[in-house]
Amino acid sequence: MTRRKTSPQKKESETVLSPTELQNLDYTSMQELKEYVTSKPYLASLCGHVAAVYQIAWSADSRLLVSGSSDSTLKVWDVKAQKLAADLPGHADEVYAVDWSPDGQRVASGGKDKCLRIWRR
């Protein structure tokens, strides 16, 4: 039985197939399912910078991602929640380099303004 359900958190509806239905799919249906599944090869899309992103770095525990952009900001992303955790303005120009400290408590950045900045998490 094919059921369509819409989650309150998601705008798209999901199709749920039982194992028996998957086994009984004809070639055309299987191709359509394959195209649907592979149409989104990425896990998340984190949008928020207003200009090009030059570099990203994962935190040591892989829960956070930091991005540096030509919009002169760093953004810290909560990967699991897929949302912005912190916006770190402070550079006067484009940010070219970002990285986490080994303990994951600080982020370092460098940019076109010839400054290195260290941010506390």
- Beta strands (DSSP E) in 1-121 are 3-6, 13-16, 53-58, 64-69, 73-78, 83-89, 95-100, 106-111, 116-120
pTM exceeds 0.85, yes or no:
no
Residue tagged 């990285």 (tokens): 99
14-73 confidence digits (pLDDT tens): 555 666 666 677 777 777 777 766 666 777 889 999 999 999 999 989 899 999 999 999
The tokens for 25 are 């799919």
Alpha helices in the chain (DSSP H): 19-23, 27-38
68 vs 110: CA distance, rounded Å = 9
2 CB neighbour count, 10 Å cutoff: 8
Name the band, by pLDDT with cuts 50, 70 and 90, for residue 9.
Answer: very low
Decide if pLDDT at 11 tops 50.
Answer: no
